[in-house]
Structure 1
Amino acid sequence: MHTTVFHSAELPQTERLARFDDFLLHSDHPMRITAPDPGPFEATARALDLGPVNIVELTCSPSLVRRTPAMIRAADPELCSMVFPRRGALVVTQAGREALLGERDFALYDSSRPFSVRMAGRGPVTLVRAHVPRALLPLSARHTDRLLGTRLPGQEGMGALLTTFLGDLAADRVRRTTADIDRLSTVTLDLLAATLAHHLDTGPRLPDESRRRTLLASVEAFVQEHLSDPDLSPRDIAAALHISVSYLHRLFRSRDTTVTELIRGLRLERARSALTDPRLRDVPVHRIAADCGFREHAAFTRAFNAAYGMPPRDWRRQAPRVPRG
């Protein structure tokens, strides 16, 4: 569940920087923050805990976060973290390297080594940070150390799947069951490991089951991103992930479903959610269906009725009007 863990607007302006510095200093891996202009400082941090995986979305005024050797001696949970900017730019420094990150670039850093993260620019920066226990990654520190403090591309390929997946999780406000949290934690670990292995060219060292789960998660992330395209097909998905169509179908046989059923199910779930969104109450049902990738309204109505036991218009009328946060 998402939790706002720090919100500077609730504090007097003169105390905001000091209070956020204290918040970071007393985190599980202590850090300190300084800002070139502490007067108008603002920071809002929201966290999502997925078991051993922690994801934070932070919007912050230009500033510098540092972790020093003394802080490492005080507390080191041995975390492996990745970070990327959603707005603005970041400079990540570790292991004698410096990475300038633009939108969707990402970098890796380790809580056991000194590092700094600078939020650059004139306006607030929004970043997403995910950290996992290093012991849970199926890659040795000897390999991952080669990536610390380097810019890794997140606009395409494995990097795009990882940043899109984490960005969507950070932005989502949906309440999740314990089982969902466990599954998302596993997917996050697998996707991070697969992305790092890709950049290290150590893909074959990942366990077969981990690679399979990562590919399945990648398929779902790609489908979610392209649901509005009525022509989305297994061939498109396979081409995007650089696998054959036959291998894609074999992956889904292990789940006792098909790629086509996944696409239809995700489209229906998105439509069902949209029909209960009060912000969309004036949008016609046929428009929602089209936005979810259904080419024919009649086919959408039949599929929705078969999945949820009533036509979409009836669903919209009877569903509670729960505001989306």
Structure 2
Amino acid sequence: MLNEMVFQSEDAPAADRLAYWQERLEQTHAPVRLSSDHAHDFRATQRVLDVGAVCVWPATFQSMVSRRTPKLIRQSDPEVFHLSLVVSGTARGRWGDHEVVYEPTDLHLNDSSVPWEISTGRSPATAVGVEVPKALLPLPRRAAADRIPRRVTTREGIGALLAQFLTQLNTGTSCYLPSDGPRLGRVLIDLIAVLFAQTTETHPLASDNHRRTLVLRIKHFILQHLGDADLTPADVAAAHHISTSYLHRLFQEEEATVGAWMRTRRLKAVCRDLADPTLRATPIYAIAARWGFPRAADFSRAFRNAYGTTPKEFRHRASLPH
């Protein structure tokens, strides 16, 4: 079956369970602020499915209000699009002056770079959440906030197909092998890309759509080969039948050069593993090598330059109770 991790609020003392759930959302989505009438003994369960570059997390939780504020966005923005397939329960979303009501079978979408507030109904809610790095979708970065819809019906078209895929993934993980995870993730990315293309067709994509699509493929390729320590920009260019100089020109409009983007993703993968309690016994050098840092000195220098601390100190702080 697919690899998955299960988290339950009951793993924490009753008084700490809402804070525990907030921490889970910070790790699987983005930093948020939670409140709930059940704060004294909050109940929630989350499964995190291993499907490659995207994060899929079916969850059931009691009524709550979740807020992503401008301050939280300034402090930390993972640059992801979020989708939730509402399985049961209801919710109300607010973005500025806009308000949307969600019911079972609806698809809810939001952007980690935009402030929002989501409040669920009195009954417990169940949803299948999906986090997709913006870098993997060919949507112009500057226009993302006003291009994506907030609610998509699943009664027909690509919305129905995406809902069926998520429902099957949620209920039928036993019929897949762990090695199927990355392939399923790529299918999911393609479905979401088509959904975005259809729902934003009244707002035509920018004229550089071909460039964005190529950059999307390149970034996806890099994410699938992060563990290859010998991967160079020249290798990436060759794999896409373009020159190295053209590759660098493509990344001039991105947030970093191709080399820096690759290094940042490797470091983020290392941080995720260092914070994973199930990998606590795995040596730091082994985790670094797994993500393309075979030389300890180079890795330590890159890590300190990026995070201002050592990998050992980072792992220690991540293990402390919050």
Give the match for residue 174 of structure 2.
174
Give the match's secondary structure for 2:173.
coil
1:167 maps to amino acid: T
Quick check: 2:54–2:130 contact (8 Å CA) kept in 1?
yes
SS at match of 1:116: strand
Partner of 2:128: 128
| TM-score between both structures, scaled by the size of structure 2 | 0.57
Q: Which amino acid aligns with 1:172?
A: G
**SS of the counterpart of 2:119?**
strand
Q: 1:4, 1:44 within 8 Å by CA — same for their partners in 2?
A: no
Distance 1:2 1:203, change over 3 A: farther
Check whether the contact 1:85–1:103 (CA below 8 A) recurs between aligned residues: yes
Shift of residue 175, structure 1, vs aligned partner: 6.8
Q: Aligned partner of 2:93: which letter?
A: V
SS in 2 for 1:138: coil
State the structure with bigger RCO (CA 8 A, min sep 6), 1 or 2: 2
CA deviation after TM superposition for structure 1 residue 95, in Å:
5.3
Confirm or deny that 1:137 pairs with 2:137.
Answer: yes
Rounded Cα–Cα distance in structure 2 between residues aligned with 1:183 and 1:203: 30
CA distance in 1 between counterparts of 2:148 and 2:98 reads 8
CA deviations on 1:151-175 (whole Å, 9 max, x unpaired) are 2211222111111211221223327
Q: What is the match of residue 162 of structure 1?
A: 162
State whether residues 54 and 131 of structure 1, in contact with CA within 8 Å, keep that contact through their aligned partners in structure 2. Answer: yes
Tell me the matched-pair count: 207
The more displaced of 123-132 and 195-204 is 195-204
2:106 is aligned with 1:105: yes
| Structure 2 residue identity aligned to 1:10 | D
- CA 1:4 to 1:33, structure 2 compared with 1: closer, same or farther past 3 Å? farther
User: Which has the larger displacement, 20-29 or 78-87?
Assistant: 20-29
Distance 1:180 1:80, change over 3 A: same
Q: 1:9 to 1:150 in 2, by over 3 A?
A: same
Q: Which position in structure 2 is the counterpart of 1:8? A: 9
Q: Give the corresponding residue for 1:52.
A: 53
Code of the residue aligned with 1:60 in structure 2: it is F
The verdict on how the C-alpha distance between 1:22 and 1:188 changes in structure 2, with shifts beyond 3 A counting, is: closer
2:31 aligned with 1:35, yes or no?
no
* Distance in 2 (alpha carbons) for counterparts of 1:28 and 1:196: 19
For the Cα contact (< 8 Å) 2:29–2:82, is it kept in 1?
no
Q: CA–CA distance in 2 between the matches of 1:162 and 1:26? A: 24
Measure the CA separation in 2 of the matches of 1:39 and 1:177: 40
Cα 1:194–1:26 change in 2 (3 A) is closer
Are the counterparts in 2 of residues 93 and 149 from structure 1 also a CA contact under 8 Å?
no
Runs of 5+ unmatched residues, structure 2: 214-322
The CA deviation at 1:195 is 1.2
Query: CA 1:179 to 1:22, structure 2 compared with 1: closer, same or farther past 3 Å?
Result: closer
Q: For residue 269 of structure 2, what is the aligned residue in structure 1?
A: none
Identical residues among aligned pairs (%): 33
Question: Structure 1 pair 26/130, CA: closer, same or farther in 2 (3 Å)?
Answer: closer
Say whether 1:199 aligns with 2:199. yes
Q: CA deviation at 1:28?
A: 6.1
Pairs within 5 Å for 1:246-265: none
State the TM-score, normalized to the length of structure 1: 0.57
Deviation string, structure 1 residues 83-137 (Cα, Å, up to 9, x no partner):
12100012223354222111111122111122222222x2210011111110111
Q: Distance in 1 between matches of 2:154 and 2:120?
A: 18
Q: How far 1:62 sits from its partner (Å)?
A: 0.3
User: Structure 1 residues 157 and 149 mapped into 2: Cα distance closer, same or farther (>3 Å)?
Assistant: closer
Name 2:266's counterpart in structure 1: none
Once the two structures are superposed, the pairs formed by residues 85-96 of structure 1 within 5 Å of their partners are 85-94=86-95, 96=97
Shift of the alpha carbon at 1:178? 5.8
Q: CA deviation at 1:20?
A: 1.9
| Cα distance in 2, alignment partners of residues 51 and 123 from structure 1 | 32
> What RMSD, in angstroms, separates the aligned Cα atoms of the two structures?
2.7
Structure 2 counterpart of 1:71: 72
Give the letter for the 1:155 counterpart: R
Taking the aligned partners of 2:199 and 2:29, their CA distance within structure 1 comes to 28
Contact kept, 8 Å, 2:148 with 2:200, in 1: the verdict is no
Partners in 1 of 2:143 and 2:31 — Cα distance?
Answer: 25
Bigger Cα Rg: 1
Change (3 A) 1:23 1:82: closer
Q: What is the Cα deviation at residue 142 of structure 1?
A: 5.1
Structure 1 unaligned segments of length 5 or more: list them: 211-325
